A and B are shown apart, each in its own frame.
Chain A
């Protein structure tokens, strides 16, 4: 897993290797200074050799300068390597996600993907930078300082060795215990955030039912839970520092004691004793850093795992080997099609569907929520692959086409649609990047959008906010239709995409379709029966099966479900509010200062 992630270091391999090397130089330089120090004292001060002091002093300065260079370069390289690595990771993931099929997208939530691309990558960037600098630096300074100590006096250095072993053991115990508590803490955090989330989004309910007090108590309980578990976790880690200090001080005192005796016995010099004392701090500090690296790694490993999941996710839909680049016409065939979103699902979403649609026909689809209307049309542009059977467009299996060709010719207006930040013009040109102003205008006219676009002060150059929040629901839907029309598709699918458009405008759009794009096969999914009534034929979906497929008149005569829906909607059960749901949005706009 780590190897796959590290592959994304790519062109930053050189700097990634250079960083620890530079750090190594810095560490070694740093470690030499106390060593030379002893020489100044022993030979210089005790030996009364001023020349020696200056010579060695000069050497020390040079070494410090080398250390500085190493440190600076290390810092520069580390920044380059880590930010470059992060860039590559983001790119690799983003590119990967672009290849995802709908099935892949469904598997990851949008929010999940965004977190992986933003927070997780940032975590990794910071971790990588730290690792490059510390992984080498900390152990190296540990080892170098130990070696130097042994060079100076192996007997005293033994004290360090013992200290290192003891301290590592203690640190290990403390950290592993603390990690256990920290792991417990995460679900508590989730519970707390959930409580906030619920209250923020459902504040009207809380207030309407006067439940503020109870919610506050619930929150306080969750908050106390976090307090408890964190106090425990940190109560464990708090032993780290005293353990460390205890070791350091014990070493200092032991060395002072034995050192004094050795000096008296003439097997150690005062200068050497001083350098040994200086190393003491170095060694144990590095040990502390090593332990921090482990903690960091275990925190970062979750991020690594999440990024890895994206990188290795294989798209479930890929181009065929010898793709067809031309769609003959807009005819559609389903042959014994079975389909399920999940391969292991017990029951199929679509069951044994066979149908034929002529090129240029207008087809309505109606049925209850969950009757698989959307699933049916999603197979046509190969947003999902069938489980068995086959779907044909223009007489050829959709799996034989080049995906881009197929999706350009089979244009879908999705149920939950999105506009992107940019001008209206920019948004429309998603359909055809070379579309002229006149093309866009024509498509907008067909979709009954031209009129309202012109009313905007900036017309077609009006800026659309992210998610299209500054246009109403009905306007958004019409823009989406216009965008789909610009592809000049052979098949046009509207998946409940006029629900927020008023009945009259909707009728006008359908009329324009009939007159202006007669050769395009049009498939319209709707809840409102008036939206599909005048189609050439209507498919009635029921629980994944085709319950009826006929003209309006025949269905009314022969199809029970159709008749039921018709009656409930047309006789006293109709729906005369064009965009009930959008009402709330408009109100929100008013809050923000209006359009």
Chain B
């Protein structure tokens, strides 16, 4: 079914460290929601198998009890007992069919339901993960858990699991029936099964070995294909086509070779099983025939006929089990990845300071559920239980902040600064100085290692994350839009915003003009991250999206390089009007942004090396001066 099986290099190690644990967990997952249904399925399987065995045993009585007597007494055949017997068996068969149908029908709900629940749980959990998780895992890997792993898992839930139960139960009950029918023939059958299993294991082991090398070669070939196709234009420009084909041929040849070996051994599993099964059948037939002829062990012809059918149905489930092994191994690896994601620690949030709506009454300020548009921080002190309301103004201070994405390597050192409400702070500095990193800290995408960040005098660790983030506007360098209409995208942070608010925000961001020119204006559908808009337009939408929140604090990461000067100016105007009257942290790339800042921080290697207004810094003739004039290398 859907979901490309492009596992690439990840498929190299299909083994799970502790398969037992994964299986247990999977079962408890299934039983959590579908324990009842699953039990019914189990019962249905048992009923089905038993009904089937009854049917097969009928062959014996058909021959021994009905046909053979007729042969002896052909004068007055009485078909009534036979008819009754057939009707009785028909009932058993019907029972088997109904049980099978119920089992399969319920299995659909179980497997689809488990799949849906897994997806939902996975996604819900993923949404709680810290940004760090997404920064440290490739998007492709995360995606493939949804596209590949869940699919393979569904396979084992819906197919393998019932089949295994069915097979196991069939094997046991058929074995018992066989023993009852004839012990010597059963022994023969078992010996043949032993041989089959040995052959299967040998071929299967070889096949497994080559499958691993096939996966490795597949990974290498896929990697090469991705690289060369991705760089196709460069290949053309450098007329490197022949070289590129040469490299491909080598990998392709290796892949073909190992795939051939792997498939060869897995292909012969089937015939080995089937034909050894046939041989077992033949031996039993001959031996049984001899026994029936000579009357040894009292074997009757009917018993032989029944036994031969059992012989068949005994081999079949064993074949099935052996064939399922590889898919189980694959699926377990997928389940392991799914559970690993589910086990990732979610973002911790011990914040207890919240933003609340307030209204002014005669007694002063009072908390309310109404949307008054007036907000205050509600700080419930932990020890005393005393409630304190603090005005929401938007001043932010950094006090001796150290930060590193990993504990070993600090990116920011001892950052100190304060921004009073309404001030504009600009960060400048060369590549890798740590400017963008700052945008990750105020909103607690990452937690700092040392020091304190305060928002309106409250340590941001004490503020509930949802409220903290709602109180900050963010415009990131890379704009991401969501599938939905333009209006939906603008009201992303405020789903209950009216159309008027949307338009107002768009106007503030300078986006109203182009939106109106879109085919369906504000109702135009955006697809694929806003692929149908230009980069500048997407930027304007992300500004409008921040504007509608009307937050007192803004974090802007100016987008630059690929926008041309004219578009840039339009975007700039949008940003400027958004910044008015708000505390703004701006990662600046343009002089115009920086010039009228209240304070400019010059960052180098994670430290603030200079700070001051534009004029002060120019006069100081330091790093800022160098950056500004472009004379940084003598």
Contacts and interface: CB of A to CB of B under 8 A. Distances in A.
B348 interface: no
Given A41-B301, A198-B482, A568-B565, A82 B263 contact: yes
Interface string B197-231: 00000000000000000000000011101111111
Nearest to A407: B239
Interface string A404-434: 1001100110101110110000000011010
B405 A590 contact: yes
A193 B119 CA distance: 11
A358 interface: no
A231 B112 contact: yes
B590 interface: yes
Nearest to A112: B229
Interface string B419-444: 00000000010111111110000010
A203 B131 contact: yes
B interface majority secondary structure: helix
A115 B229 contact: no
Interface stretch (B356-364, B366-374, B465-473): B465-473
A80 B260 contact: yes
B100 A61 contact: no
Contacts of A252: 55
A48 B301 CA distance: 12
Given A61-B282, A98-B244, A238-B104, A504 B630 contact: yes
A408 B126 CA distance: 49
B113 interface: yes
B437 to A, nearest CB: 6
A139 interface: no
Nearest to A233: B108
10 contacts: A57-B285, A67-B271, A189-B3, A220-B120, A223-B119, A234-B108, A253-B93, A381-B237, A418-B233, A590-B411
A411 to B, nearest CB: 8
Interface in B244-286: 244-245, 248-249, 252-253, 255-256, 259-264, 267-272, 274-276, 278-279, 281-283, 285-286
Contact of B566 (A56, A117, A198, A368): A368
B482 A86 contact: no
A263 to B, nearest CB: 5
B500 interface: no
B621 interface: no
A6 interface: no
A223 B569 CA distance: 43
A586 B431 contact: yes
A354 interface: no
Given A197-B139, A220-B120, A230-B108, 16 more contacts: A33-B282, A41-B289, A129-B267, A193-B146, A198-B482, A208-B474, A219-B123, A231-B109, A245-B93, A260-B82, A414-B234, A467-B230, A500-B561, A572-B592, A581-B561, A590-B411
Contacts of B483: 194-195, 198
A12 to B, nearest CB: 10
A75 B270 contact: yes
Given A208-B469, A588-B135, A199 B126 contact: yes
A260 B135 contact: no
Contacts of A189: 2-3
Contacts of A115: 4, 6
B112 A234 contact: yes
Contacts of A122: 5-6
A588 B147 CA distance: 26
B142 A200 contact: yes
Given A274-B305, A582-B431, A45 B263 contact: no
Interface string A21-60: 0000010001001000100110011001010011011001
Interface stretch (A155-163, A210-218, A320-328): A210-218
Contacts of A118: 4, 6, 221-222, 225
B382 interface: no
Interface in A53-98: 53-54, 56-57, 60-61, 64-65, 67-68, 70-72, 74-76, 78-80, 82-84, 86-87, 90-91, 94-95, 97-98
B49 to A, nearest CB: 13
B282 to A, nearest CB: 4
B223 A499 contact: no
A261 B70 CA distance: 9
Interface stretch (B23-31, B60-68, B517-525): B60-68
Interface stretch (B83-91, B321-329, B331-339, B384-392): B83-91
Nearest to A591: B405
B120 A219 contact: yes
B93 to A, nearest CB: 4
B380 interface: no
Contact of B127 (A61, A209, A216, A407): A216
B327 to A, nearest CB: 13
A209 B146 contact: no
Contacts of A41: 289, 301, 304
Contacts of A383: 233, 236-237
B516 interface: no
A431 B55 contact: no
Contact of B79 (A64, A78, A249, A260): A260
Contact of B134 (A30, A193, A203, A593): A203
Contact of B301 (A45, A79, A119, A246): A45
Given A242-B101, A568-B565, A260 B66 contact: yes
Most buried by B among A87, A186, A594: A87
A238 B301 CA distance: 37
Nearest to A81: B260
A3 B480 CA distance: 44
Range class of the A interface residue count: 35 or more
B116 A227 contact: yes
Contacts of B259: 79, 83, 86, 125
A185 B241 CA distance: 40
B38 interface: no
Nearest to A206: B127
A17 interface: no
Given A98-B235, A119-B4, A211 B493 contact: yes
Pick the 4 closest A-B CB pairs, nearest first.
A71-B271, A75-B267, A202-B480, A57-B286
Interface stretch (A99-107, A509-517, A547-555): A99-107
A431 B238 contact: yes
Nearest to B404: A590
B484 to A, nearest CB: 9
B90 A76 contact: no
Contacts of B286: 40, 53-54, 56-57, 60
Interface in A561-595: 564-565, 568-569, 572-584, 586-588, 590-594
Contacts of B619: none
Contact of B590 (A84, A420, A575, A592): A575
Given A83-B259, A257-B83, A572-B595, A587 B62 contact: no
Given A60-B285, A75-B264, A202-B482, A583 B232 contact: no
B144 to A, nearest CB: 10
B227 A72 contact: no
B472 A198 contact: no
A576 B482 contact: no
B560 interface: yes
Interface in B591-634: 591-592, 595, 627-628, 630-633
A470 interface: no
Contacts of A580: 477, 558-561, 587, 589
B514 to A, nearest CB: 14
A238 B564 CA distance: 59
Nearest to B237: A412
A76 B588 contact: no
B74 A264 contact: yes
A570 to B, nearest CB: 10
Contacts of A65: 275, 279
Contacts of B113: 227
Contacts of B58: 256
Nearest to A113: B229
